[in-house]
Amino acid sequence: GGTVHCSPTVCPPVTCPQPERRPGSCCPTCPSCLHHNQVVPDGEEVPNSLDPCQVCVCTGGELVCTPRKCVAPLCAHPLPGSCCQNNCNGCSYAGKEYPNGADFPHPADSCRQCHCINGHVQCLSRRCPPLLCPEPTLRPQECCPQCPAPPAGCLYLGVTYKHLERFYDPSEKCRTCVCANGTITCQHQPCAPVLCSHPLQQGCCRSCDGCLYQGKELPNGGQFADPQDPCRLCSCWEGGVVCKTKACPAAKCPFPVPGPCCQSCEGT
């Protein structure tokens, strides 16, 4: 004489305004979204395949895309990247872009020299070299007095450079050189530290504006199959790689069979 007690299934709350109840299911669920033949469950986030600078979220069966959040730059004058202006491997100053370590004249004051270092710009009055002549002269539109006979220039790899002239080393593009009274001094271009796990090599410095993953260069927002697991999808963003298991569509049959990654209805 046992007694069986039955009670209805308690369904979790849903957040969408129009939930749907699928055949064979007791509880209503929020509808999923379809993005370029990829099923996106409700509330899940995927990159926008048409715009790598956007991310899309499935909400109540509708895919809503918004611009990605950019990491605030750690410098005052960052270079623009493919989506965000936070690249400190150089400077953007007064409408012009300069590589890291570059010296350039002040755009409004020819007697000031500016220097770009890790996204910061420092402008100082030009330093005038010490003069050994008794009567130096200041020429019109120049900032420093000069002796009648100028200091010696430099000959480097068949090219002549003026005194105090800066130039990139023709034999090594990542070195800058300066001619000082017949003597050339060269040093490697400085690079800002990178804060990402898979940075790209861009020119002389590494950058988080894309990813280098298992020897392959990937653009910001790019997607690719996980080489170690075909059922996972990886994406690149700001120098980081994140891999997630691919979302599977619900099988529309009572007895689905397992497939390589998702269940399917056999014979359909």
Q: What angle do CA 191, 242, 262 make, to 5 degrees?
A: 160
Judged against a pLDDT cut of 60, whether residue 112 lies above it is answered with yes
- The closest of 180, 167, 160 to 102, measured between CA atoms, is 167
Mean pLDDT across 250-259: 80
Return the CATH fold of 76-128. Answer: Complement Module; domain 1 (2.10.70)
How far is it, in rounded angstroms, from Cα 90 to Cα 88? 5
**pLDDT digit string, tens, across residues 13-69:** 877 767 777 777 788 878 888 887 888 888 888 988 888 899 999 888 888 999 989
Task: Tell me, letter by letter, the H, E, C secondary structure of 172-204.
Answer: CCCEEEEEECCEEEEEECCCCCCCCCCCEEECC
Judged against a pLDDT cut of 70, whether residue 1 lies above it is answered with no
**pLDDT digit string, tens, across residues 123-182:** 998 888 888 888 888 888 888 888 876 678 999 999 999 999 999 999 888 899 999 988
How far is it, in rounded angstroms, from Cα 13 to Cα 199? 42
**pLDDT digit string, tens, across residues 194-250:** 999 999 988 889 999 999 998 889 999 999 888 888 888 899 999 999 989 888 888
Q: What is the pLDDT of residue 37?
A: 80
User: What is the CATH code for 32-67?
Assistant: 2.10.70
Q: What is the pLDDT of residue 226?
A: 86
Q: What is the pLDDT of residue 135?
A: 83
Q: What is the pLDDT of residue 24?
A: 74
Q: What is the pLDDT of residue 209?
A: 92
- Neighbouring C-alpha atoms within 13 Å toward the C-beta of 218: 24
**pLDDT digit string, tens, across residues 96-105:** 999 999 999 9
Domain positions in the chain: 32-67, 76-128, 154-188, 200-245
Q: What angle do CA 265, 24, 64 make, to 5 degrees?
A: 80
**150 vs 8 pLDDT, higher one:** 8
> Residue 267 — pLDDT band, cuts 50, 70, 90?
low
Domains 32-67 and 76-128 share a fold: yes
Q: What is the pLDDT of residue 22?
A: 75
Which range has the top average pLDDT, 31-40, 70-79, 246-255? 70-79
